[in-house]
A and B are shown apart, each in its own frame.
Chain A
Amino acid sequence: MFEKLQAGLYEAIRTLAGQGKLTESNMREGLRLVQQALLEADVSLPVVKAFIEKVSQEALGERVMRSLRPTQQLLTIVYEQLVALMGPVDHDLHLKPSGSTIMLCGLQGSGKTTTAAKLGRYLQQRGYKPMLVAADLQRPAAIEQLQILGEKIGAPVYVEKGATDPLVVCRNALRQMPALGANVAILDTAGRLHVDQALMNQLAAIDRLIQPDQVYLVVDAMTGQDAVNSARAFHEALTLNGVILTKLDGDARGGAALSVKYVTGVPIKFIGTGEGTDALEEFHPERIASRILGQ
């Protein structure tokens, strides 16, 4: 595991052989390499700095006294801390049997609409009756996209042609839920920039008035340093309950997972691993930790 980082670390801490103990000075070069690896994996800089600080404190603690091989020890601490910070896992959607609402939000093109269908399918497999709500009234053919996906998974799609206010659409959709035979409504909202105050206010208004049981931020795994900025803004506007990380079927290292978890504190629920409606997996911090470290 982590061959590249391990080789680099070994090189850096070679002089430690036989010392069996990590100290501030002999760890410096090793931590520099860890920092570099995290930045190359797109973990946001403030998060990298906080992480390195934490690892360095851990490493200087008593656990290390027992260590025989400092390189391995440091790497183990880095890995364990990554896993700990990206966890704990909570795959429960906390849905009420009486009927629940899940709202998906995020930047443009992050994968919300596709994820709405994937979640719908995931819920169907667990005995729920989901419906998809077309609350993106902005993007050309967003409604048609959701309708096609709804048809694909065999779930009803609530659509109001010609509507202009997504809040009204969501409210009407929830009223129609029993008639449509559904017990979970998944709201597909329009993509928006976190600095677009008008659209962020609109989203906050939907959150306040509809009071979804779960609000998930859908984040593109290829996101770089800006991940902390957008995630923080969405969390401040909405109080998120979870994160879904998409497009992990490529070769992105996915450092955004750590960044987003760090600034929001909410669990990462799922990962998207393809364009198909079945390409949704529960999040496992161990896998992303390995990935970030360049396995």
Chain B
Amino acid sequence: TRGRLVDQAFLDELFEVLVRTDMGVQAAQQLVDQIAQKYRNRVIEWSEAIEEIKKGLKDLLRQPESPIRFASQGPTVIMVCGVNGCGKTTTIAKLAYMFQSQGKKVLLGAADTFRAAAVEQLSIWAQRLGVEIVTGPQGSDPAAVGHRAVARAIETQADVCIVDTAGRLQTHQNLMRELSKIHRVLGKQIPEAPHEVLLVLDATTGQNGISQAKHFSEAVKCTGLVLAKLDGTAKGGVVVAIRQQMGLPVKFVGVGEKPEDLLPFDADSFVDAMFAES
């Protein structure tokens, strides 16, 4: 091929490709501007522009090899939060499975005492995976369940304690305060706990993902994202905007409903998939 002139039509087309990934207007425009600045009125291959953008995104999204910061001694406490139905409980089952296969002893805390059958859902997973679970009565204080889960993890010398929380929209202030309280209580017995606060994001989410990341981080100081449901056709590009604006890395991706359907985040394959024709 003989390449294309980088004119407005070229740049518009590029913008469209980027916006379709859900990265948002701002991030997309920024990348288009970079290409425009460098190549406007020159002739380049389309793939050259794409490759350049991909390289930038891969550098931006790269993250350390080991996504979990383990406690130097005693149980590592992981809190999982996010909006309604994003995939928290299933992600916890997957994390438990992953830790187990690393030879670690896992304990689950069912601190979603609100949603109908949330405790039963996590209990079924605990049973299937053969891990202990700490629960509380429907409607009881979720922070108390979290507290008991950590206590039990210490007592049984579990390596990892994963605490589920009820789904909540980030604009509901009372629910966000409740989340902060759970977070606080998890640190009562182990000062550095929770060692990880994972925000689960549904890969089909659009620009609201930015608001989710901001508000949840304000409430509980998230340490990373899990991008669930990436096995569909959504690209999950909003994590680009989140990384740019808040530095929050993606640590894992969910690619199915089974325990083994969790992968450590790999910037290269994620970015390649963002631009793959579907």
**Are B83's CB and A36's CB within 8 A?**
no
**Are B171's CB and A193's CB within 8 A?**
no
B121 interfacial contact with A, CB 8 Å? yes
**Cα of A40 to Cα of B116 in the assembled complex, Å:** 33
B: interface residue count bin:
35 or more
Given contacts A36-B25, A226-B234, A230-B204, contact A251 B211 (CB under 8 A): yes
**Are B22's CB and A225's CB within 8 A?**
yes
Shortest C-beta distance, A100 to chain B (Å), equals 25
Q: Which chain A positions have C-beta within 8 A of B171?
A: 249-251
**Cα of A111 to Cα of B83 in the assembled complex, Å:** 12
From A102-110, A166-174, A201-209, A234-242, the one touching the partner chain is A102-110
**Are A222's CB and B83's CB within 8 A?**
yes
B195 interfacial contact with A, CB 8 Å? no
**Are A111's CB and B121's CB within 8 A?**
no
Shortest C-beta distance, B31 to chain A (Å), equals 15
Q: Which chain B positions have C-beta within 8 A of A110?
A: 85
B124 interfacial contact with A, CB 8 Å? yes
**Are A224's CB and B234's CB within 8 A?**
yes
B202 interfacial contact with A, CB 8 Å? yes
**Cα of A142 to Cα of B90 in the assembled complex, Å:** 13
The SS class assigned to the A binding surface is: loop
**Are B19's CB and A250's CB within 8 A?**
no
Q: Which of A111, A194, A225 has the largest count of B CB atoms less than 10 A from its CB?
A: A225
**Are A222's CB and B116's CB within 8 A?**
no
B182 interfacial contact with A, CB 8 Å? no
**What residues of chain B have their CB less than 8 Å away from a CB belonging to chain A?**
16, 19-22, 24-25, 83-87, 114-118, 120-121, 123-125, 128, 169-172, 202, 204-209, 211, 229, 231-235, 238, 257, 278
Closest 9 CB pairs of A and B: A224-B206, A109-B85, A42-B206, A250-B169, A145-B117, A226-B234, A141-B121, A141-B120, A140-B124
**What residues of chain A have their CB less than 8 Å away from a CB belonging to chain B?**
36, 39-42, 45, 107-111, 138-142, 144-145, 147-149, 152, 193-195, 220, 222-227, 229-230, 247, 249-253, 255-256, 275
A–B complex contacts, Cβ < 8 Å, 13 sampled: A107-B232, A109-B229, A110-B85, A140-B121, A141-B121, A195-B232, A222-B206, A224-B234, A226-B232, A230-B232, A251-B208, A251-B211, A275-B115
